[in-house]
Amino acid sequence: MDFLNALVVLANFVLIPAVSYGSQLALGALGVTLVYGILRFSNFAHGDTMAFGAMVTILFTWAFQAFGLSIAPLPTALLALPFGIAVTAGMMLLTDRWVYQFYRRHKAKPIILVMVSLGVMFILNGVVRVIIGPGEQRFNDGARFIISAGDFKKMTGLSEGLAFRSSQGLTIVVTLISVAVLFWFLNRTRTGKSMRAYSDNEDLALLSGINPEKVVRVTWIIAAILATTAGVLYGLDKAFKPFTYFQLLLPVFAAAIVGGLGNPLGAIAGGYIIAFSEVTLTYAWKKVATYMLPDSLAPDGLAQLLSTDYKYAVSFTILVIVLIFKPYGLFRGKAV
Amino acid sequence: MSDPFLIGDRMSGGYGQGPNILHGCTLAVEKGQIAVIVGPNGAGKSTAMKAVFGMMDVREGAVRLDGEDITALSPQDRVAKGMAFVPQTNNIFTSMTVEENLEMGAFLREDDISGTMGQVYDLFPILKDKRRQAAGELSGGQRQQVAVGRALMTQPTVLMLDEPTAGVSPIVMDELFDRIIEVARTGISILMVEQNARQALEIADKGYVLVQGRNAHTGSGRELLENPEVRRTFLGGT
């Protein structure tokens, strides 16, 4: 019984939260890694693109709620998501037309493009705050739990409860679908293959007649889809706040770099590695230890390695370690 | 006198704002024949080929394909006109499978490419066995076969090869030359730059010896091999 209880506690506080947080990071990191592979620069505006996409989706959600539109038990935000994606994709394509295209034509160095994306980041940062405000927004409706802690206890008779929130379930399902569709697209369709070819060898892609501007446009649209989806899922799971999304840039980049920049598979693995490291290192293990160890060995303190305030330090440390020992990332992407 | 099928006629030019590298250099190839460009290091062999393909500004002279002046066209437009180019390095998509490499070669084509792919596999049977493998995992000779195969996928009328045998063993080199002759027999004109001058001239219908961006000697492959001056100054034999 103690062992089962320990497992339940672990699943409730570590496994499920880390998997859903990892999925959100993976979606974010996929966007970063794709832009890096195709456009060859680190897009610092990605965190704020997630914020922008989530914001547009929230506005649509509120509008739908005002009209009384609902797809309960699923959150209304899911209905608003395609609209959020469309607006965000439009915004990205306009940004490319007005900003990035100029630098591409002049064959600007990657570092210049990174600085350009920093500028785009600040603008988006401001735009989001002007439109929706800097405060926290909650927009989750529909059923709150798939399994609540109380139901779980009644069902199993265990003394520990396992809560599985619908936002977590939704995150996992949506991530699985998005990743499957993305890989199908990259590996099976002509456009997807041309994107991989362009990322692999730009000159040869041009010699083969691949249109670089089309590849770039498709990349921005996919980045918009991934960023908006990640942003909305994170907002449903926790809450929407522009500053939090700006901070997400660090774990998202850490995930992309740990997996190997430019490698989609690596971005996914990186997302879960970062999420699990953050959650396990900042989790108070006292309860699990109490169940698992004999009474004499039970810890007095919380058995927490790091305070949750330091969770960003975890991604940063992993990032530094990977850059020192494996600069191409675990899945061999491009050098940073 | 009618023009050869492809001719770079008295081309002069260089890269960007730089000085001229080519000085009135002429290269030509007839339909279904093999023309080989040889010459010492820094003679402008690859540059001359890039000039024909539009990767460098031709300031004087002209490039004509089948009688049409294509001097102003971009490399991409020349691909659409039926020219195919295999660069010396980075000439395959290393992270993609052999089959995907061939598909990308045929990117501009809207019709069914399976026939052409079958022809490439007939020409290079080893590629068929390895078609699901990432091209970057293949040996040097096999990579060159992928590179040539990719270029053939557009069903070109002219195939341009920049040192196709660079870095492969002598046995593989002989085999590659055999394949190139086979390609030429199907009616595709071949223009190639080669370091292995003697072997290349042996299979050449036409040879061009370039020295410092100028035509030093021109003739059939046999004539050049028998030309005492070419032998003494360049082939290094007696």
In a domain, A129, yes or no: yes
Name which residue leads in pLDDT, B231 or A205: A205
CB contact under 8 A, A194 and B104: yes
In a domain, A76, yes or no: yes
Smallest CA–CA distance, residue A283 to chain B, in Å, is 40
Name every residue in B having a CB less than 8 A away from some CB of A: 75-76, 79-80, 85, 87, 90-96, 100, 103-105, 107-108, 150, 154
Q: What mean pLDDT do residues A222-243 have? A: 96
CB contact under 8 A, A197 and B100: yes
Chain A positions touching B80 (Cβ under 8 A) are 209
- Chain B contact present for A215, CB below 8 A: no
| Domain boundaries, position A118 | 2-325
Does residue A93 carry a pLDDT above 50?
A: yes
Task: Quote the ipTM score.
Answer: 0.87
| Segments of B99-179 assigned E as strands | 158-162
In a domain, A335, yes or no: no
- Chain B contact present for A261, CB below 8 A: no
All domains in chain B, ordered by first residue: 6-82+156-235 (3.40.50.300), 89-149 (no CATH)
- Chain B contact present for A209, CB below 8 A: yes
Q: What is the pLDDT of residue A174?
A: 96
In a domain, A332, yes or no: no
> Which tokens go with A187?
């590996």
> Closest chain A residue to B152 measured between Cα atoms?
A208
Q: What is the DSSP letter of A135?
A: S
State the Cα–Cα distance between residues A293 and A296, nearest whole angstrom.
8
pLDDT tens for residues A115-160? 999 999 999 999 999 999 999 998 988 888 999 988 999 988 888 8
pLDDT tens for residues A10-20? 999 999 999 99
Does residue B236 carry a pLDDT above 80?
A: no
Using CB atoms, pick whichever of B90, B94, B104 lies closest to residue A208. Answer: B104
In a domain, A239, yes or no: yes
Q: What is the pLDDT of residue A59?
A: 97
Q: What is the pLDDT of residue A334?
A: 62
In a domain, A285, yes or no: yes
The answer to whether the CB of A57 falls within 8 A of the CB of A76 is no
Q: What is the pLDDT of residue B237?
A: 58
Structural domain count of chain A: 1
Chain A positions touching B85 (Cβ under 8 A) are 207
**For position A266, which CATH number holds?**
1.10.3470
> Closest chain A residue to B110 measured between Cα atoms?
A190
Taking alpha carbons only, the member of B43, B54, B69, B41 closest to residue B15 is: B54
Q: What mean pLDDT do residues B24-35 have? A: 93
- Provide the mean pLDDT of chain B: 91
pTM of the predicted model as reported, rounded to 2 decimal places: 0.90
Q: What is the pLDDT of residue A293?
A: 86
Chain B positions touching A192 (Cβ under 8 A) are none
Chain A positions touching B154 (Cβ under 8 A) are 209
Phi/psi at A290 (5° precision) = -60, -40
Q: What mean pLDDT do residues B29-34 have? A: 93
In a domain, A331, yes or no: no
Q: What is the pLDDT of residue A309?
A: 86
Taking alpha carbons only, the member of A67, A95, A88, A77 closest to residue A222 is: A88
Question: Which of the listed ranges A42-51, A143-152, A296-305, B103-112 does the model predict with the highest average pLDDT?
Answer: A42-51
> Closest chain B residue to A333 measured between Cα atoms?
B95
Chain B positions touching A197 (Cβ under 8 A) are 93, 96, 100, 104, 107
**Best residue in B78, B86, B95 for a mutation probing chain A (most A CBs within 10 Å):** B95
Q: Output the DSSP codes for A209-273.
A: T--HHHHHHHHHHHHHHHHHHHHHHHHHHS-B-HHHHHHHHHHHHHHHHHH-TT-HHHHHHHHHH
Q: Are strands B189-193 and B34-38 parallel, antiparallel or unpaired?
A: parallel
Using CB atoms, pick whichever of A193, A200, A207 lies closest to residue B75. Answer: A207
Does residue A330 carry a pLDDT above 90?
A: no
Reported confidence tier of residue A287, pLDDT bands at 50, 70, 90: confident
Q: What is the pLDDT of residue A336?
A: 44
The answer to whether the CB of B202 falls within 8 A of the CB of B225 is yes
Chain A positions touching B94 (Cβ under 8 A) are 200-201
- Chain B contact present for A208, CB below 8 A: yes
In a domain, A333, yes or no: no
